[in-house]
């Protein structure tokens, strides 16, 4: 029974240490943010724009402070005559705060990848069967690394992308789909902690296990080990009794060793 009680206490201390260790490490470790979300441009505006908000992910602020944010846009564009004749157009990306203020901004020109007419005809001839069957399509995927930003105060709440036509034109590109890709990179200390988080879980739990076990054994010893406590009390009482008996025997020996003092009493007899 004593061994079972000790095992239960050790298992309880191990569980408490594991919970506390995982909780402490989780409070420090920050997971990199990876977001991939579709964008829908509003072509009723003069300059079509699309906004992605972190509130859609049920988080008012998606990127922790100190992370480096990389914002990219992926656009799937058809190889139509309009897109080929369009040439360059401008793409503007902005990071918005909670109050709607612009935190960071980036603007860069974009263009559909050029293919000459003979190349297009040869590709159409080679890919005729997959194109007719629907396994392939006449479209291009454009990925633009739009913005790099160090997250700080004020915090980023949303990302806004805007399509701007080239000067002296009003033509805008045709899009099948558009996506925003957000990747964050934590500081090197937290990145290292995230990469070694399982090792930190184990070591932190082990470091907490020994103090918790000692505290349980020290503070709740009478409740956890009543048999040991009663035996300890009995042994203490027995030792006290032995000490008392030893003291009494020593005093008795001392009394026996000391010489006795004899007293003489003279009596007077009265004769009448």
**pLDDT of amino acid 56:** 67
Q: State how far the Cα of 40 lies from the Cα of 147, in Å rounded to an integer.
A: 19
From the number of C-beta atoms within 10 Å of its C-beta (0-12, 13-18, 19+), residue 161 rates as buried
Identify whether 266 is part of a domain. Answer: no
**pLDDT of amino acid 264:** 46
Enclosing H/E stretch for 253: helix 226-257
Identify whether 109 is part of a domain. Answer: yes
Count of domains for the chain: 2
- Residue 82 shares a structural domain with residue 20: no
Q: Are the C-beta atoms of 61 and 151 separated by less than 8 Å?
A: no
Identify whether 247 is part of a domain. Answer: no
- Residue 21 shares a structural domain with residue 41: no
Q: State how far the Cα of 122 lies from the Cα of 112, in Å rounded to an integer.
A: 19
- Residue 59 shares a structural domain with residue 107: yes
- Residue 93 shares a structural domain with residue 74: yes
Identify whether 253 is part of a domain. Answer: no
**pLDDT of amino acid 270:** 47
Identify whether 85 is part of a domain. Answer: yes
Q: Are the C-beta atoms of 134 and 47 separated by less than 8 Å?
A: no
- Residue 88 shares a structural domain with residue 215: no
Per-residue model confidence as pLDDT tens for the chain (272 residues): 767 777 888 888 899 999 999 999 988 888 888 999 999 999 999 999 999 988 765 555 678 888 999 999 999 999 888 888 888 899 999 999 888 899 999 999 998 888 888 888 888 888 888 888 878 788 899 999 989 999 988 888 899 999 999 888 888 999 999 999 999 999 998 889 999 999 999 999 999 998 888 888 787 766 666 655 555 556 676 777 777 778 787 777 777 776 655 554 554 554 44
What is the crossing angle of helices 197-219 and 2-28, to 10°? 140
From the number of C-beta atoms within 10 Å of its C-beta (0-12, 13-18, 19+), residue 99 rates as exposed
**pLDDT of amino acid 271:** 43
Q: Could you list the residue range(s) of the whole structural domain that residue 67 is in?
A: 32-185
- Residue 158 shares a structural domain with residue 234: no
E-only strand ranges, the chain: 34-39, 49-53, 68-78, 88-96, 102-111, 139-150, 158-164, 177-185
- Residue 16 shares a structural domain with residue 123: no
- Residue 48 shares a structural domain with residue 170: yes
Q: How far is CA 127 from CA 116, 133, 136, in A?
A: 16, 10, 8
Identify whether 260 is part of a domain. Answer: no
- Residue 207 shares a structural domain with residue 76: no
**pLDDT of amino acid 120:** 83
Question: Can you give the length of the chain in residues?
Answer: 272
Q: pTM, whole model, 2 decimals?
A: 0.70
- Residue 6 shares a structural domain with residue 68: no
Strand partners, 75: 142, 178
Q: Which of 141, 170, 185 is the last residue of a domain?
A: 185
Q: Are the C-beta atoms of 172 and 43 separated by less than 8 Å?
A: yes
Measured in degrees and rounded to the nearest 5, phi and psi for residue 205 equal -65, -40
CATH of the domain at 77: 2.60.120
Identify whether 254 is part of a domain. Answer: no
- Residue 15 shares a structural domain with residue 37: no
- Residue 176 shares a structural domain with residue 194: no
Identify whether 70 is part of a domain. Answer: yes
């Amino acid at each position: 029974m004593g061994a079972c009680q000790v095992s239960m206490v050790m298992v309880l201390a191990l569980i408490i240490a594991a919970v506390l260790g995982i909780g402490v490490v989780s409070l420090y470790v920050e997971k990199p943010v990876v977001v991939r979300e579709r964008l829908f441009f509003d072509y009723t505006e003069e300059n079509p724009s699309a906004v992605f908000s972190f509130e859609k992910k049920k988080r008012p602020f998606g990127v922790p402070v100190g992370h480096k944010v990389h914002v990219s846009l992926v656009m799937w564009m058809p190889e139509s005559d309009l897109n080929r004749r369009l040439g360059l157009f401008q793409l503007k990306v902005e990071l918005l705060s909670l109050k709607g203020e612009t935190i960071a901004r980036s603007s860069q020109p974009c263009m559909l990848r050029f293919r000459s007419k003979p190349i297009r005809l040869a590709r159409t001839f080679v890919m005729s069967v997959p194109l007719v069957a629907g396994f392939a399509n006449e479209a291009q995927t454009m990925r633009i690394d739009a913005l790099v930003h160090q997250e700080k105060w004020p915090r980023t709440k949303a990302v806004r992308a805007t399509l701007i036509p080239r000067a002296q034109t009003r033509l805008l590109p045709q899009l099948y789909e558009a996506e925003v890709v957000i990747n964050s990179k934590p500081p090197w200390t937290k990145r290292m902690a995230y990469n070694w988080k399982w090792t930190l879980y184990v070591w932190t739990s082990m470091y907490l296990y020994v103090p918790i076990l000692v505290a349980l054994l020290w503070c709740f010893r009478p409740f956890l080990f009543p048999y040991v406590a009663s035996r300890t009390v009995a042994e203490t009482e027995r030792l006290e009794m032995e000490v008392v008996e030893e003291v009494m025997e020593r005093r008795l020996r001392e009394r026996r060793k000391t010489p006795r003092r004899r007293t003489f009493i003279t009596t007077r007899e009265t004769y009448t």
